[in-house]
Amino acid sequence: MKLPPGARFSTVCIHAGQTPDPATGAIITPIYQTSTYVQDALGQHKGYEYARTQNPTRGALEQNLAAIEGGAAAFAFASGMAAIDAITTLLTSGDHVVVTDNTYGGTFRLFDKVLRKYGLEFTYVDTSHPELVERAMRPATKMIFVETPTNPVMRLTDIEAVAAIARRSGARLVVDNTFASPALQRPIALGADIVVHSTTKYLNGHSDSVGGVVIVTRDEDVAGLGFIQNAAGAILSPFDSWLVLRGTKTLNVRMAQHNINGMALAEFLASHPKVTKVLYPGLPDHPQHALAKKQMRGFGGMLTFDAGTFEAARDVCNRIRLMALAESLGGVETLVCHPASMTHASVPLERRQAIGLTDSMVRISAGIEDPQDLIDDIRQALA
């Protein structure tokens, strides 16, 4: 079982970072549920000393994810937010960051309510217009933090264009690739320096683990992230590492069905008389459909629609039967949420208005069920 040079995406997903267990030949990396490792003699060990610092299950996942995103190294954390927090430790007090204005609410909360206290400055711009990013850059700008597509209004940022701005200014480009997954979008190949994921979503894919990962390209960031992972200690557990490692094996086939189901629901909703708007990058009327075709390999399973009024949106959420009303996304089962009162409740009203997030919007994370069953469910919920 040797990964051939030039192996293609799904082969990399299944095999990278994983060799049969040397002790038993077990084909699947075991869950090394241990806190410490016995050393042969003083100063002689097998590369493992203490499980916050090194764990073979986590190490296998990190190698797997580094290969999948095409980075130099990966570091797995206890949640997506812990991963984002770790990235910001590459900055120092006085540094400035340009951020997508429609970033995940938890990311905004971390930046605005926690990190500003330590002297970091953040400017929020609509990064779907690279000229606004350019205009927001300052001499102190050390990072551009982009989410694409955004949650829940599905705006896209041209990663190549923003990477060029970052390079010219000597700033790092960080892309939160949670919504697309590396099966659909590979930011490092487009010029990003760092990729972050909530592995809770598509990478794990089965709604049974919370985690995060940072994939880096620069030697200094390999050292910086490795240091903070051990120093602050917000590591991913061996069991969660094993779950995500199992998840990435089927990432490519899951994403293929998420693409099909996302498109089927988007087309059905776009033709429904009670729906006033559908936000899905796969629809030709999406303002960045051309960019989605260029930058992504498929349009994914995330879509948002406008039910016209808050009452209509509430009724859809309360009437779905097969789909589940729940926060989170990226699992095999279809989830529905009301962003204004659920995932984005921590975003102030004026900011929600500025990004076009209204109370009448409903977000769907299309799972991988039969698409006709999903259409039947949303049809009866809208009836």
Query: Which residue in 142, 201, 254, 363 is the catalytic one?
Result: 201
- Closest residue by Cα to residue 87 from 66, 57, 110: 110
181's CB contacts (< 8 A; 6+ apart) are 197, 201, 202, 203, 251, 255, 300, 330
Query: Would you say 326 or 354 has its CB closer to ligand PLP?
Result: 326
Query: How many Cα atoms within 13 Å fall on the side-chain side of residue 23?
Result: 3
Q: Which of 51, 68, 173, 210 binds ligand PLP (CB under 6 A)?
A: 210
Q: What is the CA radius of gyration of the chain?
A: 21
176 is catalytic: yes
Closest approach of Cβ 49 to ligand PLP, in Å?
28
What's the CA angle centered on 180, arms 365 and 369, to 5 degrees? 35
Q: Which of residues 148-207 bind ligand PLP (CB under 6 A)?
A: 151, 176, 178-179, 198, 200
Stretch near ligand PLP under the rule CB under 6 A, chosen from 21-29, 102-110, 251-259, 274-282: 102-110
Largest CA distance in the chain: 74
Phi, psi (degrees; rounded to nearest 5) at 246: -70, -40
Closest approach of Cβ 88 to ligand PLP, in Å?
13
Stretch near ligand PLP under the rule CB under 6 A, chosen from 40-48, 100-108, 181-189, 218-226: 100-108
Q: Which of 18, 55, 64, 79 binds ligand PLP (CB under 6 A)?
A: 79
Closest approach of Cβ 329 to ligand PLP, in Å?
7
Helical packing angle, 80-88 and 219-232, nearest 10°: 120
Query: Would you say 147 or 377 has its CB closer to ligand PLP?
Result: 147
Closest approach of Cβ 319 to ligand PLP, in Å?
24
52 is catalytic: yes
199 and 244 Cβ atoms separated by less than 8 Å: yes
Query: Would you say 275 or 366 has its CB closer to ligand PLP?
Result: 366
CA distances to 119, 239, 269, 353 from 110, in Å: 13, 27, 34, 20
Would you call 213 helix, strand, or coil by DSSP? Answer: strand
- Closest residue by Cα to residue 86 from 73, 68, 100: 73
Phi, psi (degrees; rounded to nearest 5) at 327: -70, 175
In the bound complex, which residue of the shown chain has the CB atom lying closest to ligand PLP? Answer: 80
201 is catalytic: yes
147 in contact with ligand PLP (CB under 6 A): yes
Q: Which of 59, 74, 97, 104 binds ligand PLP (CB under 6 A)?
A: 104
- Closest residue by Cα to residue 159 from 181, 178, 174: 174
Query: Which residue in 48, 52, 293, 297 is the catalytic one?
Result: 52
Stretch near ligand PLP under the rule CB under 6 A, chosen from 60-68, 77-85, 263-271, 317-325: 77-85
Closest approach of Cβ 109 to ligand PLP, in Å?
10
Q: Which of 212, 238, 281, 300 binds ligand PLP (CB under 6 A)?
A: 212
Query: Would you say 79 or 128 has its CB closer to ligand PLP?
Result: 79
Query: Would you say 81 or 382 has its CB closer to ligand PLP?
Result: 81
Q: Give the sign of the dihedral formed by CA 168, CA 170, CA 171, CA 173.
A: positive
Closest approach of Cβ 198 to ligand PLP, in Å?
3
Q: Under the phi-then-psi rule, with left for phi > 0, alpha for psi from -120 to 50, and beta for the rest, what region is 154?
A: left
- The contact set with ligand PLP (CB under 6 A) reads 79-81, 104, 106-107, 147, 151, 176, 178-179, 198, 200, 210, 212
Active site residues: 52, 104, 176, 201
